[in-house]
Structure 1
Amino acid sequence: MKPQYERVTIPDGCSVRVYHRQLAQIPFEWHHHPEYELTLTMNSRGQRFIGDHVARYEGDDLVLVPPDMPHTWSSTEPIDTRAPGLSFGAGCAAAMRARLPLLLDASPRTRLSAVLDTLAELAGAEDAVPLASSSAHIRANPSARMTASGTASEAERLNRVFDLLDRRFNEPLRIAELCAVASLSERSLHRYFVQHVGESVGRYLIRLRLGYATRQLTETTWPVAMIATKAGFPNLANFNRQFLAARGMTPSAWRRFFEMHGRAPEPEAPVALDRRSPSLERRAKRG
C-alpha cells in the first residue's frame, strides 16, 4: 500500500506541532512526512507499523519515528474505558505522560520548553530499541520520489512550490509560475494545496508575508511602511488590513506591545491540539 503524504502544518508562533487525540479506535492511516514524530500512545492495545516493522503494543507506547518513514498505529479498543490517560507507566513513557500538562499547555512557549525537556531526556535513554530496517524509508533522493508511472509524487511537486514560495514570497508571483515548477494544472495545484495545507495558495502566501513582517516588527526599527514593502504587500493599507485580520491588532500596536512586554501577544484563538494536518483529516473523513 502506498503511504499517504502528510504535510505537517506548524502554527504561527510555534516551533513544534503538538497533537492530542482522544479516539475510541485508532484507524489504520499509513502515512509519512519529512519531520521527526514522537508519539506516545496510551490506554490502547493493537498493532504498530513502522516501516517494515510490525509488532503488538499496549499500554504506554513511546516511539520516535524518523523522517519519511511510513508508519501508523491500529487499535479497535482501549484497555481501560473508565479512565483513559490516567494510569502511569514506567521509564520514558511515564516521564512523558507526567509532562503532558506542559506539552498541551495553551502557550506555545510552554509547549516548546516541554518538548525540549522531553527530547533531552530521551537523548540519554538507554533502553531505546530499533524497529524498522534502514530500507524502509521513503527515500529523500529524487529517484525515490517517483511513482510507478514515472512522475513525481505529490510530496515532491508540493515541495517545489513551497521552495519557490519561501524564496520569493515578497515578489509578485503568478500562479502560472507555480504550476510550471510543479508540473501541475492550476486546478490540480489548488486541489493539492487545499488537501495537504488546508488553504489556498494565496492564503498561504499571505501567511508567509505576515510571518516575515511580524519578525521585522520585533527585530528592526524599520518604519511600518518599509516592512510592508519588503514583505511583498502592494500598499500599506492592504498590509494593515491583512495584519489586523490575522493578529487581532495593527502592526504598530503589535510593535508597541512587544516593546512594552518583551514578548509577542498570545493569539486570541489557541491552536487546536486535537486536529492533525488537513491531508490526514480529509482522508479520515473520506474513509
Structure 2
Amino acid sequence: MKPQYERVTIPDGCSIRVYHRQLAQIPFEWHHHPEYELTLTMNSRGRRFVGDHIGAYSGDDLVLVPPDMPHTWASTEPLDPREPQVAIVVWFSGDWARRMADCCPEFAPLRTLLRRGAAGLKFAPEAATSMRARLDALLSESPRVRLGAVLEVLTSLAETAPEPLASPAVHTQGAKQTVAGRDAQKPPAAAASTPGGSASEAERLNRVLDLLDRRFHEPLRVAELCEAAHLSERSLHRYFVRHVGESVGRYLSRLRIGFATRQLTDTDWPIAVIATKAGFSNLANFNRQFLSARGMTPSAYRRFFETHGHAPKEDPSPTENLQTRPPSLERTPRRAGRVSG
C-alpha cells in the first residue's frame, strides 16, 4: 500500500506546528510528509509502524519520525476507557532546526538529533515523562511559549540514548525498497511500502506550490501549473484538493491576501498599488476578497493597525490551530476551483 502524502502547513507567525489529537481510537493512516515529526502518544495501546519497523506500544510512547518516512499508529484500546486516546504531535523542518543550531550554540545538540534520527527514534519512558510534564507549555495559546517548550524538549532528547526503529536502508532505497521477512506480522493495510512510495506525486505537487509561491503576483494560467506538474488539469485539481485541502484558486487567493495584509501594515503604499503588487488586476475584486478573508476592508484594516498598533485578531487562533489537523488526510475533500484573481 502506498503511503499517502500529507501536506503539513506551519501557521503564520510560527516556526513549528503543534497538534493536540484526541480520539476514541487511533486509526491506521499510512502516510508521510517532508517534515520531522515528534509524537507523544498517551492513554493508548496498539501497534506502531515506522518505515519497516512494526512494534507494540503502550502508555506514553515518544517517537521521532524523519522526513518522508511512512508511519502510523493503530490503537487497539485505551488504557483508561473513560478518557480519550491522545497524541501530541510536533512538526518541524530540518532546515529550521539546523538554522537554530547554527545561530545558537545552546541548540547545537539539534544537529545530533537530526543525524541520529534518520531511521526514526523511540525514546525511553523517562523522556516521554519529561515531555508530558511540559504539556501546559506545549499546548499554550502563545506561539512563543510553545516554541520555547519544543526547543527545550528537542535539545533534551538529543542528549538521551534512543532506540533506532527502521532499518537504515529503508530511508535510502526509495521506491525500490521492500520489507522482507515481516509480511506475516503485517495487517493487509500495511503491505510492504517505501518512504518515497508516493514521492513522485508529492514532488509534482511541490513543483506547483513552489511556482505559486514565487509567482502568485502574476497572472497564472492553469495550463502553466499543469505543465510544471506534468499533470492534466483534472488530475492537478484532484491532487491539490486531496493534499492541500482546498482548490488551487483558493490557495492562490490566500497567498495574495497574505502578501497584501503584510504590505498594509508594513508600508504606506496606496491600496491600489498593493492590490496590483499582490496580483489583483481589479481593485474592486481585491476589496471584495480582502473583506471576505479578513472581515473588514483593506482601508479599515490599515486604520485599525495604525490606531491599535496590532492587527485585528483573526481565526483560526493559535489555540484552534492546536486542534486543527492538516486537511490532506481527511476523506471529505472540497470541490476544486479555477485559478483566479
* Aligned-residue identity in percent: 72
Alignment correspondent of 2:326: 277
1:80 CA drift (Å) = 1.4
Alignment correspondent of 2:222: 175
1:100 CA drift (Å) = 2.4
Please state if 1:160 is matched with 2:207: yes
Cα distance 1:138–1:175, how it changes in 2: closer, same or farther (>3 A)? farther
1:45 CA drift (Å) = 1.4
Contact 2:78–2:85 at 8 Å: present in 1 too?
no
Aligned positions of 1:176-255 closer than 5 A: 176-255=223-302
Alignment correspondent of 2:160: 126
Contact 2:27–2:74 at 8 Å: present in 1 too?
yes
Contact 2:68–2:195 at 8 Å: present in 1 too?
no
**d(CA) in 2 for partners of 1:105, 1:99:** 10
Cα distance 1:266–1:30, how it changes in 2: closer, same or farther (>3 A)? same
Cα distance 1:146–1:26, how it changes in 2: closer, same or farther (>3 A)? closer
**d(CA) in 2 for partners of 1:283, 1:137:** 31
**d(CA) in 1 for partners of 2:275, 2:261:** 10
- The 3-state SS of whatever aligns with 1:79 is coil
Between 260-269 and 228-237, report the one with greater CA deviation.
260-269
Letter aligned with residue 70 of structure 1: P
TM-score (normalised: structure 1): 0.83
**d(CA) in 1 for partners of 2:304, 2:173:** 45
Contact 2:217–2:278 at 8 Å: present in 1 too?
yes
Cα distance 1:113–1:146, how it changes in 2: closer, same or farther (>3 A)? closer
Question: C-alpha deviations, 1:210-251, integer Å up to 9, x for none?
Answer: 122222233333232222211111132222222221122333
**d(CA) in 2 for partners of 1:136, 1:128:** 18
- The 3-state SS of whatever aligns with 2:253 is helix
Question: C-alpha deviations, 1:128-177, integer Å up to 9, x for none?
Answer: 33222332237789xx99879xxx72111111111111111100000111
Please state if 1:135 is matched with 2:169: yes
- The 3-state SS of whatever aligns with 2:64 is strand
Aligned positions of 1:92-111 closer than 5 A: 92-111=127-146
Question: C-alpha deviations, 1:186-227, integer Å up to 9, x for none?
Answer: 111111111111111000001111122222233333232222
Contact 2:205–2:229 at 8 Å: present in 1 too?
yes
Question: C-alpha deviations, 1:231-277, integer Å up to 9, x for none?
Answer: 11113222222222112233333334444555433324433533422
1:27 CA drift (Å) = 1.4
**d(CA) in 1 for partners of 2:131, 2:300:** 38
Cα distance 1:272–1:139, how it changes in 2: closer, same or farther (>3 A)? farther
Aligned positions of 1:24-103 closer than 5 A: 24-84=24-84, 91-103=126-138
TM-score (normalised: structure 2): 0.71
Contact 2:61–2:125 at 8 Å: present in 1 too?
no
Question: C-alpha deviations, 1:91-149, integer Å up to 9, x for none?
Answer: 332232233233334444444444334334434x32333222332237789xx99879x
Q: How many residues align?
A: 276
Cα distance 1:167–1:217, how it changes in 2: closer, same or farther (>3 A)? same
1:85 CA drift (Å) = 7.2
Cα distance 1:4–1:237, how it changes in 2: closer, same or farther (>3 A)? same
* Runs (5+) with no aligned partner, structure 2: 87-123, 176-193, 334-341
**d(CA) in 1 for partners of 2:196, 2:60:** 37
Contact 2:259–2:278 at 8 Å: present in 1 too?
yes
- The 3-state SS of whatever aligns with 1:48 is strand
**d(CA) in 1 for partners of 2:292, 2:209:** 24
Between 264-273 and 36-45, report the one with greater CA deviation.
264-273
Cα distance 1:269–1:8, how it changes in 2: closer, same or farther (>3 A)? closer
Q: CA RMSD in A?
A: 3.0
